[in-house]
C-alpha cells in the first residue's frame, strides 16, 4: 500500500479551500505550546494542527473563530 502526501500552502486560502480546509482558532481548545494556536478544519469536522496531524474531531458544540 502506498501513502500519498499532499502539500498545501497553509497561508494560501484558495489552496486550503480547494482541499475542503479552512484555518481556524477554536475558543477554549489549546495545546501546551500555544494558547492561540490555529488549526485546520475540514468539512467533516476533523481538526488538524498546521503540520497536518489529526488532533481532534468536533462534536458540533464547539465555537469556531475564523
In a domain, 34, yes or no: yes
Where do we find the cell 484558495?
14
> Can you give the residue range of the structural domain that contains 46?
13-65
Using 50, 70 and 90 to split pLDDT, how confident is the model at 4?
low
pLDDT at res. 45:
93
Query: How many domains does one find in the chain?
Result: 1
Q: Is 3 exposed, middle or buried (0-12, 13-18, 19+ CB in 10 A)?
A: exposed
Residues 22-36 pLDDT 10s: 999 887 776 666 656
HEC string of the chain equals: CCCCCCCCCCCCHHHHHHCCEEEEEECCCCCCCCCCCCEEEECCCEEECCCCCEEEECCCCCCEEC
In a domain, 26, yes or no: yes
In a domain, 6, yes or no: no
In a domain, 59, yes or no: yes
In a domain, 1, yes or no: no
Amino acid at each position: 500500500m502506498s501513502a500519498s502526501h499532499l502539500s498545501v500552502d497553509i497561508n494560501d486560502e484558495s489552496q486550503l479551500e480547494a482541499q475542503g480546509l479552512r484555518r481556524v482558532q477554536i475558543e477554549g481548545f489549546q495545546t501546551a505550546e500555544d494558547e492561540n494556536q490555529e488549526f485546520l478544519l475540514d468539512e467533516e469536522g476533523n481538526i488538524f494542527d498546521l503540520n497536518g496531524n489529526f488532533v481532534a474531531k468536533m462534536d458540533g458544540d464547539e465555537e469556531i473563530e475564523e
